[in-house]
Amino acid sequence: MNSSILICGAGVAGLSTAHFLLRAGHAVTVVERSPTFRGGGQAVDVRGVALDVVARMGLLDAVREHRTRLKGMSMLDRDGRELSRNLERTMTGGRFDSGDVEIFRDDLCRLLMQGCGRAELIAGDYATALHDDGAGVDVHFASGTTRRFDLVIGADGLRSRTRRLAFDATDECVVELGAVLALFTAPNTKPLTDWELMYRDEARGVVAYPTIDNRELRVGVGFAADARALRGDEIRQKALVVEHCADLGGDWRTMLDALEAAPQFWFGEIAQVRLPRLHNGRVVLVGDAAYCASPFSGQGTSLALVGAFVLSESLASSGNDFAAAFAHYETRMRPFVDANQGLVDLTRVGPIPDEQMDAAKNGIVLDAA
């Protein structure tokens, strides 16, 4: 039976789930809280099994075509002097010979959106209450409307409101890892061409790479801090970044000087979502809302893509029994989630070891029963 399904959130998880559910013939509505189906600056990775998911969407060539063009990276010291160079990998994208794809999140979302033509897309609204009466879910929206759906899928990210409404009201499942990540844009004055720069010590990591057209830099700064008190306070967040990088010189200083006026600034506490159950009644979660592994895993996008596929396949193979489908989805995802969340080690100075990444990114068989 085809169902009416509401997906909350139009990121990688929401759009890829919509893609597969539409293909299976469901009536899909996607509601996105942002007023536009937004982009978002960072480069993300499609690795291992997630590449098979993208191939099943028919998007593998397009995704490869839009990959970042980085040709290598330099490790710099705190004054911006080159310590070493690497032509085989970057810190953000991993090994070039792995077949994995690094792509800007907004490019990936634009491609995923192409498969959502038959979905009803609503921007600038969000669910404020869910009432599951066993036969369907009445969803109240911030805009004042109420609609009924057979199923609701929360794909609304780390701080998922769907999750709070449906079963974890106080966000107990969000495990803060005691670090923050700041991401901002800077002019590419040097300029840096298809090349990544990295600095890392026990206390901090800084990475910078250009956009595909090399016009602008994306700079990421990660460090240990409890910044919960700074939520929503951009001025103090920027001040904290500057404070943690006060001793950096050379090109790092030039980039940090651009922070105050940066056109794009994102600041987030690094956290994982560890939920004992991914579903409750007719509501189920996918992507960061369900099992955020944090940007330090480099696997959030792949988890979202694989989760979208496994959830959709579970629904397809369960007839009308959505409860069995959700349980099946959860059972299948759990080891994959554990392996990928286990990649995060904030004390590690270098990249994630290749063997560990290879095992995690391939840690699920898509066609398993």
Ligand X SMILES: Cc1cc2nc3c(=O)[nH]c(=O)nc-3n(C[C@H](O)[C@H](O)[C@H](O)COP(=O)(O)OP(=O)(O)OC[C@H]3O[C@@H](n4cnc5c(N)ncnc54)[C@H](O)[C@@H]3O)c2cc1C
- The residues in 222-281 that bind ligand X, with binding defined as CB under 6 A, are 266, 268
Minimum distance between the CB of residue 17 and ligand X, rounded to whole angstroms? 9
- Six-digit token pair at 311? 């959830």
**Closer by beta carbon to ligand X, 112 or else 256:** 112
Among 20, 126, 167, 309, contact with ligand X (rule: CB under 6 A): 126
Site string for ligand X, 163-202 (x = CB under 6 A): ------------------x-x-------------------
**Closer by beta carbon to ligand X, 77 or else 125:** 125
The alpha-carbon radius of gyration of the chain (Å, integer) is 20
Among 6, 10, 57, 306, contact with ligand X (rule: CB under 6 A): 10
The answer to whether the CB of 331 falls within 8 A of the CB of 281 is no
Report how many residues bind ligand X under the rule CB under 6 A.
Answer: 36
Cis peptide, bond prior to residue 187, ω within 30 of zero: no
What's the number of CA atoms in the CB half-sphere (13 Å) around residue 346? 19
Give Cβ neighbours of residue 231 (< 8 Å, ≥ 6 apart).
Answer: none
Distance CA 149, CA 283 (A): 10
Site string for ligand X, 65-104 (x = CB under 6 A): ---------------------------x------------
Q: Does 211 bind ligand X (CB under 6 A)?
A: no
Q: Does 12 bind ligand X (CB under 6 A)?
A: yes
Place of tokens 């700064």: 221
**Closer by beta carbon to ligand X, 77 or else 338:** 338
Would you list the DSSP string of 13-36? HHHHHHHHHHHTT-EEEEEESSSS
Minimum distance between the CB of residue 97 and ligand X, rounded to whole angstroms? 19
Residue of minimal Cβ distance to ligand X = 300
Q: Does 352 bind ligand X (CB under 6 A)?
A: no
Give Cβ neighbours of residue 348 (< 8 Å, ≥ 6 apart).
Answer: none
Stretch that binds ligand X, among 6-14, 194-202, 331-339, 341-349 (CB under 6 A): 6-14
Beta bridge partners of 75: 84, 198
C-alpha distances (whole Å) from 316 to each of 2, 14, 22, 233 are: 9, 17, 11, 44
The answer to whether the CB of 265 falls within 8 A of the CB of 238 is yes
**Closer by beta carbon to ligand X, 14 or else 48:** 14
Q: Which helix (H) or strand (E) holds 129?
A: strand 127-132
Stretch that binds ligand X, among 37-45, 195-203, 309-317, 357-365 (CB under 6 A): 37-45
Site string for ligand X, 273-292 (x = CB under 6 A): --------------xxx---
Q: Which of 266, 301, 263, 281 is nearest to 111 (CA)?
A: 301
Judged by the rule CB under 6 A, the positions of this chain that interact with ligand X are 8-14, 31-34, 38, 42, 44-45, 92, 105, 126, 155-157, 161, 181, 183, 266, 268, 287-289, 295, 298-302, 304
